[in-house]
Chains A and B, each alone.
Chain A
Amino acid sequence: MLSAQDKRIIKELQNGLPLASRPYQIMAARLKMPEEELINRIRYLKENGIVRRLGAAVRHQDLGFKANAMVVWDVPDDKICAAGNLMAEFKEVTHCYQRPRQTGWPYNLFTMVHSHSNEECVKIAEKIARAVGINQYNLLFSAGELKKISMRYFE
């Protein structure tokens, strides 16, 4: 269970780390706690998976990863764990989730593939399809980013 102080730490961390020699000291002063205690608490939050990652979020489009496709797969229900774990092994796959099928939507496994071009994304999907042995899939290319922000919690 998160304490009130944990929530304040999380709010500080989502505002960003100060660009200064002692960033944690600056944050700790705002939180009215010792620097060392703050560092230890962030480590605890990381070790327990509450902070998934501490560091930079980059605009990958600016770094040459200009294309992304959501590749959706229709996987037999009893094969979903094996397929998901196999797909997760591919370095080009950044996200892999099981999601529910719906009427008019037969796909139950979702992977995000990032690469330098749409053609490359197609090749990656073919490579994954061969490796996992799933032929029922579809690529949904990104046609434009309408919004991308980081979620703000406890506000």
Chain B
Amino acid sequence: MKIDQIDRKLLNLIQADFPLSPEPYREIGETLGINEEEVLARLKNMIDSGLIRRLGGIFDSKMLGYHSTLCAMRVDEKRIDEVAAVVNAYPGVTHNYLREHEFNMWFTLTAPSKEELDQCITRIKIDTGINDVLILPAQKLFKIKVNFDL
């Protein structure tokens, strides 16, 4: 999807601080010098095209009482699709990336409790027959920045 300068400014604005006021889209429009209808139309376009994955809240899973970890698996190249299907079937697996390393499958797993998190990992190991898994929970957070300067 082609986006113009106004879309970029709009994206920068709404990635950072979506207004907490009764008419947020009108407010955003005022900042950009366009009207509310245009803001809504541009947002709809970017959501429909998939450029905006979601417009809503992003939460601190730990503050919600959830437990999460990064996991890395050593997967035979020939088994990637099959193993990915097993891993991705878990709703708590939110990100899964192939990476160029002997540990080539990297995924994040989130669960409502430590017990459920451990159970998921155990089940993934059993279902895939792969025991070579690094469990790498965050011990300290130095930065998380999910908005991009456009």
| A→B interface (CB under 8 Å) | 2, 10, 13-17, 19-25, 35, 39, 42-43, 46, 48-60, 62-63, 65, 70, 80-81, 84-85, 87-88, 91, 93-100, 102, 105, 110, 114, 138, 140-155
Query: Is the contact region of chain B dominated by helix, strand, or loop, or is it mixed?
Result: mixed
Tell me whether B88 and A147 are in contact (CB under 8 A): yes
Q: Which of B92-143 contact A (CB under 8 A)?
A: 92-101, 103-107, 110, 134-143
Interface 1/0 per residue, B49-67 and A, CB below 8 Å:
0111111111111011110
What is the CB-to-nearest-CB distance from B47 to chain A, in angstroms, rounded to a whole number?
8
Provide a sorted-by-A list of 9 A–B residue pairs whose CB atoms are within 8 angstroms: A10-B57, A25-B22, A39-B22, A56-B15, A63-B11, A63-B51, A95-B143, A142-B97, A146-B96
A85 neighbours in B (Cβ, 8 Å): 142
Tell me whether A17 and B36 are in contact (CB under 8 A): no
Selected contact of B55 from candidates A17, A46, A59, CB within 8 Å: A17
Selected contact of B52 from candidates A15, A56, A84, A138, CB within 8 Å: A56
- The distance in angstroms between the C-alpha atoms of A138 and B147, with both chains bound, is 25
The answer to whether residues A16 and B56 also contact, given A2-B64, A63-B51, A147-B107 and a CB cut-off of 8 A, is yes
The answer to whether residues A16 and B98 also contact, given A62-B1, A98-B140 and a CB cut-off of 8 A, is no
Is residue B4 within 8 Å, beta carbon to beta carbon, of the partner chain?
no
- The distance in angstroms between the C-alpha atoms of A2 and B63, with both chains bound, is 9
A23 neighbours in B (Cβ, 8 Å): 24-25
Residue on B with the closest CB to A138?
B101
Is residue B40 within 8 Å, beta carbon to beta carbon, of the partner chain?
yes
Tell me whether B56 and A143 are in contact (CB under 8 A): no
The answer to whether residues A97 and B140 also contact, given A25-B22, A62-B51, A151-B94 and a CB cut-off of 8 A, is yes
What is the CB-to-nearest-CB distance from A82 to chain B, in angstroms, rounded to a whole number?
10
- The distance in angstroms between the C-alpha atoms of A52 and B58, with both chains bound, is 6
Tell me whether B98 and A144 are in contact (CB under 8 A): yes
What is the CB-to-nearest-CB distance from B48 to chain A, in angstroms, rounded to a whole number?
10
Tell me whether A39 and B20 are in contact (CB under 8 A): yes
A15 neighbours in B (Cβ, 8 Å): 56
The answer to whether residues A10 and B15 also contact, given A141-B100, A153-B66 and a CB cut-off of 8 A, is no
